[in-house]
Amino acid sequence: MTDDLPHGAERTTVSDLGREMLAQGLTTGTGGNVSQLCADGETVAISPSGVPYDDVTPERVPLVTLDGEQVAGELDASSETPMHTALFRRRDDVGGVVHTHAPYASTFAALGEPIPASHYLIAFAGDEVPVAGYERSGSEALGERAAETMGTAYDACLLQNHGTITVGETAEAAFEVALMVEYCARIHYQASSIGDPIILPDEEVDRLRSMFEDYGQQ
d(CA 165, CA 83): 9
pLDDT at 216: 55
Looking at the DSSP bridge assignments, the partners of residue 65 are 43
For 141, the enclosing helix (H) or strand (E) is: helix 140-150
Predicted confidence (pLDDT) per residue in 40-64, tens digit: 999 999 999 999 999 999 999 999 9
Predicted confidence (pLDDT) per residue in 23-46, tens digit: 999 999 999 999 999 999 999 999
Q: Which amino acid is at 115?
A: I
Q: Which of 80, 128, 135, 176 is catalytic?
A: 80
Give the pLDDT mean for 165-188.
98
Cβ–Cβ contacts within 10 Å for residue 39, how many? 11
Give the pLDDT mean for 146-167.
97
pLDDT at 1: 52
Give the pLDDT mean for 82-109.
97
Query: What are the extents of the domains in the chain?
Result: 8-212
Would residue 172 show up in a list of annotated catalytic residues for this protein?
A: no
Rounded to the nearest 10 degrees, what angle do helices 103-111 and 171-194 cross at?
70
For residue 124, pLDDT over 50 is answered with yes
pLDDT at 3: 72
CB 43 within 8 Å of CB 64: yes
Give the pLDDT mean for 167-175.
98
Rounded to the nearest 10 degrees, what angle do helices 81-90 and 140-150 cross at?
40
Give the pLDDT mean for 92-113.
98
Q: What is the fold of 8-212?
A: L-fuculose-1-phosphate Aldolase (3.40.225)
For residue 214, pLDDT over 90 is answered with no
- pTM of the predicted protein model: 0.95
